Each structure stands twice: as structure tokens, then as C-alpha cells.
Amino acid sequence: MSTEASLFQRRRPLTVAELDVIPWLQRLAPDERDRAAEDLQIAEAMPGDYLCRTGRPVTYWFGAVDGLLKMSTDNAEGQTMTFTGIPPGGWFGEGTALKREAYRYNIQALRKSLVAGLHVDTFHWLLDHSIGFNRFVMNQLNERLAQFIAAREIDRMSNPNIRVARSLEALFNPVLYPGLGTVLRITQQELAYLVGLSRQRVNQALNLLAAHGAIQVEYGGLRVTNLQALRSALFVQEIGFQAVG
């Protein structure tokens, strides 16, 4: 049995508390919100479970309510390229849902995660009826394009300090992940999976970023204390030239 089928069988309606943390629901008119809330389903994905696989037809628009997901693809040589991590609050796959096409990427849970899904038919109904929903999706597409361009640049970077800084900046995107705040619950091993480096090398880069006041490494996660620094080209260039002992 595939993990997708297993997740489908474990789906259930969302609780009131779970509905309250979905950012786009607040932008809908009451009748639109009622229809979306009635259709939304949620399931618990275990580490390694796939929510989407390359080549599978789209059936739902997904969002991470809790946990951590990875968006990636495999090339012809069997190598995996990670596009981005998806922390709580992130909704993804709107481009695929818009075109009702097959997925061109994989979505996999890195840890136990709660993932909500809106059926693609309801997704299109909201596009046809809700101005607020259209604006949310338009902002998502615009921000996602910038994120994927940045991910392409990160993938070509050889300096590990810059790779980690840029990857963290992407994970703390306030448009794509509005409910995240300043703290991300992520282990150094999970971050290593997303960045494509060893856990030891990620640890060195995090210590450098912490020494420069950009982040604080906390038990079970990271706190960003200076997001503008992570976005600054001069700052990233500076840490790129620094070796870590």
C-alpha cells in the first residue's frame, strides 16, 4: 500500500483550532469559508511518507499545519535536488492545482507532520468566487517564483556558510509561512537534509551565524534574531569568506 493511499485513509475533518491557523481562511467571505472548511481534510504523515510524487495527478492543494516537509525532485542520474523545506503554515502546489497537471516534484515528511488538504475542485471554486482567495494565491505564486530562483542559486553555491544562510532565509519567509514567527523547530540533521550538507558542516555554519548575531541555536530549533542580515548580500558575502574552526 502506498503512503499516499495510507494518508488518504487516515484523513479526518479539521478541528476548530486547526482551522484557525490556516492563513487564507481568514480572507474568505463567510459562505466561502464554510464551504472550504467543510471540504478541508487533515492527516498525520510519518517521517518518510510521501504526500506527492512526480508524475501523480493532482487531487488536493496541501498545507503544513505542523511538522516539516521537503520539496524535491530526482534527475535522470538518480540524484536528488531539494527545492525547499515547508514549515508549519506553508501551503504549496497551487501552480500544479491551477493547471490540474501531474506533479513535477516530490513532497516528503521529514518528521511526523500534520498536513491539510483542500480538494482541487474546491480550490477552483474558490478561484471562481473569492477575490480574497485569488489575492492569496497570486501572492503565493509570486513569492514561490522568487523562492525557486533563489533555490536554484543556492544549489549552485559551493560555500556551505552561504548555503545555510540562504536556506534559513527561505524557511523564514513571512509571506509563504506567515504563522512561523521567529522560531523554527528543526534539528540540525533535518536542516542538513534540506541544505544538502553534512550535519557537522551545518553545525559549523550555524555557529558562525550565531556568532554574527543573525540567529540563536536553541534546544530543538533555531531563533532568527536578525532576518535582514540573512537577506543582506554584504552579510552573506562576509560570512562566505570566513572559515569555521
Both 210 and 124 in one domain: the answer is: no
Cα–Cα distances in angstroms (integers) from residue 131 to residues 8, 176, 177, 215, in the given order: 30, 19, 21, 37
Domain end, chosen from 87, 117, 151, is at 151
* Residue at 96 is within a domain: yes
pLDDT in tens, the chain (245 residues): 556 667 778 899 999 999 999 999 999 999 999 999 999 999 999 999 999 999 999 999 999 999 999 998 877 676 777 778 899 999 999 999 999 999 999 999 999 999 999 999 999 999 999 999 999 999 999 888 877 776 666 666 667 888 888 888 888 888 888 877 788 889 999 999 888 889 999 999 999 899 888 899 988 889 999 888 877 655 666 665 565 44
Both 24 and 133 in one domain: the answer is: yes
* Residue at 85 is within a domain: yes
Both 36 and 129 in one domain: the answer is: yes
Both 142 and 196 in one domain: the answer is: no
Question: In this structure, what CATH number is given to the domain that contains residue 207?
Answer: 1.10.10.10
Q: d(Cα 164, Cα 68) in Å, to the nearest integer?
A: 17
Both 123 and 55 in one domain: the answer is: yes
pTM for this entry: 0.83
Both 123 and 219 in one domain: the answer is: no
* Residue at 245 is within a domain: no
Both 116 and 191 in one domain: the answer is: no
Both 93 and 164 in one domain: the answer is: no
Number of domains in the chain: 2
Domain end, chosen from 151, 182, 206, is at 151
Both 185 and 83 in one domain: the answer is: no
Both 131 and 188 in one domain: the answer is: no
- For 164, the domain range is 157-240
φ, ψ (nearest 5 deg) of residue 180 = -75, -40
Both 141 and 162 in one domain: the answer is: no
Both 176 and 146 in one domain: the answer is: no
